[in-house]
Amino acid sequence: MAFREFPWGVGDGAEASYVTHKQVQKYLEDYANEFHLLENIRFGCRVNHLKVLQNTKDDKHPNEKKEEGDESSDCDSWPQISLEWTDNENNQCHQQTFDNICICNGHYDLPSSPPLRGLNNFSGRVIHAIEYDDPNDFAGQTVLCVGARASGVDIAREIGLVAERVYLSDSSCDAMQEFGNVVLMPRTQLIDENGEVHFSPSVPSDSGDGNGRSNEQTVNDVDVIIFCSGYDYAFPFINAESNLELTSIPGERRVRPVYNQLWHAQYPSLSFIGLPHSVVPFPLYEIQSTAVVSQLTSKVGSIPLPSLSERRVAAECDATSGGPDSP
């Protein structure tokens, strides 16, 4: 999980399989201090608007590949970008024009909760994993965690130490499995009018009576539902006046058009660090940053980006493949 030039030190969880958020924060603070980064960072600023400036350069970027007869990769591929922001300390607004901008605002801020049929029939407490903080808040209760990836598994493990019972609903689970007071369940399908929660595999087997629910289980003892269902991308500083094509559909967990999940396909002077999910974050960010820098320098051996038309085709292929509805 560490950056290559700064290994985890003593007390940073080097030998632990579960690193706490406090240990991660300390590691990042130590990294920043070691390489004197804080003096180059302006904290407490809120970005309000990003705008691509059209026709600000006469030539395409020297590192961009141009195919013969491809006029689309000319002057507008690497435009300058205007950024407006507010300094929260004094509430002053600022504007500055940049040759390149990296968007690194993450995707762990806007909760994504899948639609659950009959949720209005549930009389208990409903929260998202972003609201979870202390497992002791759930002592003696029965909790349903909807989603069994990183946050779902971690929360179920912690809550299981104090809760009466924890149901961990996993869309890839075929049948109920008990691990002490933590019970792995198939996908949560609905909550009926009596408040019972129904679970069954994503593709239920046919029971012979046509209802296809032979593997269904129901429970009626849930006190709290925690949606551990991830987050959606959000770029509130990009809008219709940004001169920029960019879409991110809630629940789809994809941004388009982005080349190699890193550069904006049309304007690679705008890049996105950390878009992929289910990754080891810090090494990924380091590799992505190195790739971005390689396009901004004339370092010998750096590989230029393909032409605009090739980037657009690749970005569209990425945007239309995979996703939550794929097998």
* Per-residue model confidence (pLDDT) at position 206: 45
Beta-bridge partners for 143: 166, 224
What's the pLDDT at 181? 96
**Cα–Cα dist 155/161, whole Å:** 10
DSSP 76: G
Q: What is the pLDDT of residue 80?
A: 95
- Percent of the chain topping pLDDT 70: 84
What are 112-158's pLDDT values in tens digits?
A: 988 999 999 999 999 999 999 999 999 999 999 999 998 899 999 99
Q: Are 226 and 151 in contact (CB under 8 A)?
A: no
What phi, psi does 217 have (nearest 5°)?
Answer: -125, 150
Please state, rounded to an integer, the average pLDDT across all residues of the chain: 87
Condensed to tens digits (0 to 9), the pLDDT of residues 169-213 reads 999 999 999 999 999 999 999 999 999 999 999 654 444 444 545
Q: What is the DSSP string of 5-59?
A: TB---TTTTTT-SS--HHHHHHHHHHHHHHTT-GGG---SEEEEEEEEPTT--SS
Note whether 296 and 100 are within 8 A (CB). yes
pLDDT digits (tens, 9 = 90+) for 25-80: 999 999 999 999 999 999 999 999 999 998 655 445 655 555 555 544 444 589 99
Number of H helices, E strands in the chain: 4, 20
Measured between alpha carbons, how far is residue 280 from residues 101, 128, 228, 283 in Å? 23, 23, 19, 6
Q: Give pLDDT, residue 60.
A: 56
Q: Check residue 326 and give its pLDDT.
A: 47
The reported pLDDT for the residue numbered 205 is 46
ω into 204 cis (within 30 of 0): no
